[in-house]
């Protein structure tokens, strides 16, 4: 029996997928990437933008046609808005939330899959709670030997007016720090080189269990201690923090530990005060710039990434201009610019989506131009210098080259290097730079 899981969206979904995979493999399924070969097929959905959800609808239409030709069970999980959930129940055999993962074998039994998994798996004995977090105890089947995602939190309490997440993943729940640290320790023992702590608001970690749990800064320090004691080379990242909770002690913790990677992804969303208020972001541009100053002071080598939305309801040309100015001022190394997509249930979905698709594309192009300029200036300054990189894979577009990233997550093409280096750290001398990438050769080669 073969199973195929299609994962859409962010790293959080990839991490969910790794846990779903463990449960399904525990039932005796073999994984395949070929949809046509599977008798169990599912999708881990992303509801952040409509485009990704449209993809889920087109997949299930195709899969339901296949059911005329062969037995097939379909499922959907991940980040699903209530309005889509109602429709998915009619289209998929199984719709489950991540916190119901341990029930998946039973659900599949009811759909006719024969397996003893649900009666023999020890996790079935775990106590059920209202806010269930027992799915985190499923050991994931990591997709890589040298890079791993570790969820530290689920859900979000921030309710940004454009965002689906509080409605798809529910309230913010922190994973027990003892479990997080045990997972990190295991990964380091297994020689994993890059670990990313995941959550929608990583830096509000522990606030739902005040007095009982570590703060985010304390969690980072505990991870830093484990990394330092191991004596191994390691880069630990986290994504995404919210500017409102980005306290100086978080940045100080990163500065104090070599293994805490000097890269900060700090979504700003807009450069305009009024728009930030309409987005319910709860920080000012001044607050944001103060954090950037702290980062530059305490982590002078850090790269800074961001997320920006263009074409939000009511966004004027002047407000877009302010986003462009902020980008010029901060000089981000990377910015993920997204066109606003109204999400059912989110507050802004009641406001007019009054920026046309054409205007959204033009605004996105305008901010992309600013990004290219700032990123090029950073990258050109790296030429002739040597940087440590983690080699990720063979380069898809160039024979004999490797794709790698610096500690700051900047992509570097390593020329004339062997595939044997995948999964290792290397020193690379940067020989050329373009707007969004770098190229170099192994130092000493």
Instruction: Return residues touching ligand SAM (CB under 6 A).
Output: 48-49, 162-163, 165, 200-201, 240, 242, 267, 269, 307, 309, 338, 340-341, 343
Q: Nearer Cβ to ligand SF4, position 242 or 363?
A: 242
Contact of residue 159 among ligand SAM, ligand SF4, none (CB under 5-8 Å per partner type): ligand SF4
Which residue do the tokens 């989110």 mark? 346
Name which of 364 and 412 has its Cβ closer to ligand SAM.
364
Task: Using CB under 6 A, pick the residue from 4, 79, 160, 417 that binds ligand SF4.
Answer: 160
Residue 43 interacts with ligand SF4 (CB under 6 A): yes or no: no
| Minimum distance, C-beta of residue 159 to ligand SF4, in the bound complex (Å) | 6
| Residue 343 binding result from ligand SF4, ligand SAM, none, given CB thresholds of 5 to 8 Å by partner type | ligand SAM
Q: Are 198 and 151 in contact (CB under 8 A)?
A: yes
Contacts 24+ apart (CB under 8 A), 353-359: 353/313, 354/313, 354/314, 355/310, 355/311, 355/312, 355/313, 355/315, 359/311
**Residue 353 interacting partner from ligand SAM, ligand SF4, none (CB closer than 5 to 8 Å by kind):** none
Distance CA 7, CA 44 (A): 5
**Is 10 among the residues that bind ligand SF4 (CB under 6 A)?**
no
Other Cβ atoms less than 10 A from the Cβ of 393: the count is 12
The interface mask with ligand SF4, positions 173-212, x = CB under 6 A, is ---------------------------xx-----------
Q: Which of 247, 276, 265 minimizes the C-alpha distance to 332?
A: 265
| Residue among 9 and 224 whose Cβ is closer to ligand SAM | 9
Report if residue 244 touches ligand SF4, rule: CB under 6 A: no
Distance in Å, CB of 372 to ligand SAM, minimum: 19
Q: Least CB distance from residue 309 to ligand SAM, whole Å?
A: 5
Determine, following the binding rule CB under 6 A, whether residue 153 of this chain makes contact with ligand SF4: no
Near ligand SF4 by CB under 6 A: residue from 24, 53, 156, 219? 156
Q: How far is the C-alpha of 343 from the C-alpha of 47, rounded, in Å? A: 8
**Pairing outcome for strands 402-406 and 386-394:** antiparallel
Q: Which is nearer to ligand SF4, 49 or 290 (CB)?
A: 49
| Cis status, amide bond into 417, omega within 30 of 0 | no
Kindly tell me which of 85 and 380 has the beta carbon lying closer to ligand SAM.
Answer: 85
Contact between 236 and 212 under an 8 Å Cβ cutoff? The reply is no
Spatial distance between the Cα atoms of 346 and 220, rounded to a whole number of angstroms: 32
Partner touching 303 among ligand SF4, ligand SAM, none, CB below 5 to 8 Å by kind: none
**Residue 155 contacts ligand SF4 per CB under 6 A:** no
Which residue from 21, 59, 221, 242 is in contact with ligand SF4, where contact means CB under 6 A? Answer: 242
Neighbours of 401 (CB within 10 A): 16
165 belongs to the binding site for ligand SF4 (CB under 6 A): yes
Is 296 within 8 Å of 174 (Cβ atoms)?
no
Smallest gap from residue 165 Cβ to ligand SF4 (A): 4
What are the backbone dihedrals phi and psi of residue 237, each rounded to the nearest 5 degrees, phi first?
-110, 170
Residue 131: CB atoms within 10 A of its CB come to: 11
Partner from ligand SAM, ligand SF4, none binding residue 49, C-beta < 5-8 Å depending on class:
ligand SAM
Strands of 235-239's sheet in order across: 147-151, 194-198, 235-239
- Which residues 6+ apart lie within 8 Å of 117 measured at CB? 23, 26, 27, 28, 105
Tell me: does residue 132 bind ligand SF4 (CB under 6 A): no
Tell me: does residue 163 bind ligand SF4 (CB under 6 A).
yes
155 binds, among ligand SF4, ligand SAM, none (CB under 5 to 8 A by kind): none
User: Cβ atoms within 10 A of the Cβ of 369, count?
Assistant: 12
| Binding-site ranges for ligand SF4 (CB under 6 A) | 156, 158-160, 163, 165-166, 200-201, 242
């Amino acid at each position: 029996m073969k199973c195929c899981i299609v994962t859409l969206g962010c790293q959080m979904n990839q991490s969910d997928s790794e846990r779903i995979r463990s449960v399904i493999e525990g039932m005796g399924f073999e994984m395949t990437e070929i949809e046509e070969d599977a008798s169990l097929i599912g999708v881990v959905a992303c509801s952040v933008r409509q485009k990704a959800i449209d993809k889920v609808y087109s997949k299930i239409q195709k899969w339901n046609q296949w059911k005329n030709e062969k037995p097939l069970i379909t499922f959907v999980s991940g980040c699903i808005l209530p309005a889509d959930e109602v429709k998915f129940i009619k289209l998929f055999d199984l719709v489950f939330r991540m916190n119901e993962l341990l029930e998946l074998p039973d659900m599949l039994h009811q759909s006719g899959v024969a397996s003893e998994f649900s009666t023999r798996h020890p996790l079935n004995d775990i106590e059920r709670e209202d806010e269930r977090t027992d799915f985190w105890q499923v050991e994931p089947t990591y997709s890589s030997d040298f890079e791993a995602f570790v969820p530290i939190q689920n859900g979000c309490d921030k309710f940004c007016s454009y965002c689906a997440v509080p409605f798809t993943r529910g309230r913010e729940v922190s994973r027990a720090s003892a479990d997080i640290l045990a997972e990190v320790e295991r990964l380091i023992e297994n020689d994993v080189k890059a670990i990313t702590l995941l959550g929608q608001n990583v830096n509000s970690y522990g606030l739902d269990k005040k007095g009982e749990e570590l703060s985010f800064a304390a969690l980072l320090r505990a991870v830093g201690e484990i990394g330092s004691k191991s004596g191994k080379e390691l880069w630990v990242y986290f994504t995404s923090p919210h500017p409102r909770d980005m306290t100086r002690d978080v940045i100080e913790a990163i500065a104090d530990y070599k293994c805490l990677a000097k890269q900060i992804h700090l979504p700003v969303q807009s450069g305009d005060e009024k728009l930030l208020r309409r987005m319910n972001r709860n920080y000012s541009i001044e607050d944001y710039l103060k954090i950037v100053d702290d980062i530059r002071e305490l982590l002078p080598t850090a790269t800074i990434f961001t997320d920006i939305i263009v074409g939000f309801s009511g966004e004027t040309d002047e407000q877009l201009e302010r986003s462009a100015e902020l980008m010029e001022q901060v000089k981000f190394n990377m910015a993920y610019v997204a066109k606003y997509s109204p999400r059912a249930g989110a507050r802004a979905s009641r406001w007019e989506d009054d920026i046309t698709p054409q205007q959204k594309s033009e605004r996105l192009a305008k901010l992309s131009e600013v990004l290219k300029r700032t990123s090029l200036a950073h990258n050109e300054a790296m030429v002739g210098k040597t940087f440590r990189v983690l080699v990720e894979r063979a380069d898809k577009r160039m024979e004999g080259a490797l794709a790698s990233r610096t500690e700051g997550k900047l992509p570097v093409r390593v020329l004339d290097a062997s595939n044997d280096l995948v999964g290792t750290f290397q020193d690379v001398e940067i020989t050329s730079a373009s707007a969004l990438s770098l190229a170099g050769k192994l130092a000493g080669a």
